Amino acid sequence: MTSNKLTYRQSGVNISKADNFIKFISSLTKKSTKSGDFKNIGGFGAISPIPCKFRNPHIVTSTDGVGTKIEIANDLNKFDTIGIDLVAMCVNDLIVQGAKPYLFLDYISISKIDLSKLKNLLKGIVKGCNIADCKLVGGETAEMPGTYTKNKFDIAGFAVGIVDKEKILHKKIKNNDLILAVPSNGLHSNGFSLVRHVLKKKRLNFKQNNFLRKELIRPTKIYVKEVSLLVERKLINACANITGGGLVDNIKRVIPKDLGLEINLNNIKTLKIFNWLHNMGIDEKEMLKTFNCGVGFCLIVNPKNLKMVSKYFNIKYKPYVIGKITNNSKKVKLSGKINW
């Protein structure tokens, strides 16, 4: 006899699968030394102690996603690194304020729960949190049939950092400070709508191109370890995460109104993926506005600290000078041209 009773499962929501996923997250975070003393996963709210090593603690928060890089992950059926991107996009913003990442939460919305896909997503998030030295303390997974088409999903992250008031990076920039470029790991998680537009317009199947397949899914570099050490040692006056808006717009966000900046584009060490995009027909102005072009993060330092700052980065991410701060009120001067 067939039951006429209506159920949540009939609408497309499988609570038992969601419960199994929560159990997986709980077991995954328990393996981490940064999971904390409280049982947070599966609860109504995460509890964490306030670190006592800060004399005058201030909270810094950041939230972000990974944009349409998700579509690349879907096309490649590869989901174990996109979680690293998610953590990176949030924590790399926190450290701009001088904060040390402390807590992280994720939000995943999906058309239908796919445990294999979600487990790989979470593995990436946990790995990103370990790299950033922060704790995954909770999140939300929402099964939303009818909102997303088959196999589609979205992810968002929320990070909390803490910084002593005296170490907050603001209003410390001075005339003649140097602007240092810290190399990126590739595209990071910006500009993918334009990348996908290029692929479509040029009718390119990137899944059959080994170079593009690797570059388009390569995870965002997390700069927490290096920058946190520089903040502790008071070796930087400011920094900028080079994401949407590109190099100039992001540096401008941290420059006081009475100062300006000069950048020599000749000095930028770009990467092969950006050369490829430029050769596909994207002009330099659009490249600089949309992508990091090989500069994933910028440091603003007193010239006397240049050698000391370099010691905290391995050879792949060694900072180099691309410009300086000037006393020309909010004026941006670009010289030279990127060597594509």
3-state secondary structure of 338: coil
Give mean pLDDT, residues 83-87. Answer: 98
Which helix (H) or strand (E) element contains residue 58? strand 57-65
Q: Which pair of structure tokens corresponds to residue 142?
A: 């929402």
pLDDT at 26: 64
Residue 4 has what pLDDT?
Answer: 66
Q: Which of 49-58, 116-125, 266-275 has the lowest mean pLDDT?
A: 49-58
Given 167, 191, 216, the domain boundary residue is 167
Residue 187 belongs to what domain range? Answer: 178-335
Whole-number Cα distances in Å, 121 to 39, 83, 237: 21, 5, 35
Give the chain's domain count: 2
User: Any idea which residue has 């953590």 for tokens?
Assistant: 87
Of the given ranges (67-81, 138-152, 278-292), which has the lowest mean pLDDT? 138-152
Give dist(CA 82, CA 305) in Å, integer: 35
- The domain that holds 276 is classified in CATH as 3.90.650.10
Residue 93: pLDDT over 90: yes
CA distance 302 to 299: 10
Question: Are residues 82 and 25 both part of a single domain?
Answer: yes
pLDDT score of 31 more than 70: no
User: Residue 244's pLDDT is what?
Assistant: 86
Report residue 195's pLDDT band, with 50, 70 and 90 as the boundaries: very high
Q: List the CATH number of the domain containing 130.
A: 3.30.1330.10
Percent of the chain's residues with pLDDT above 70 = 87
- For 267-336, the DSSP string reads G----HHHHHHHHTT--HHHHHHHS-TTEEEEEEE-GGGHHHHHTTS-GGG--EEEEEEESSTT-EEEES
What integer best gives the mean pLDDT of the chain? 89
Locus of tokens 């590109």: 246
pTM for the model: 0.88
More confident residue, 142 or 237: 237
Three-state SS at 65: strand
pLDDT at 332 over 50: yes
> Per-residue pLDDT for 35 more than 50?
no
How far is it, in rounded angstroms, from Cα 317 to Cα 177? 20
Assess whether 156 and 194 both reside in one domain.
no
**What span, in angstroms and rounded, lies between the C-alpha atoms of 63 and 91?**
9
The pLDDT of residue 61: 96
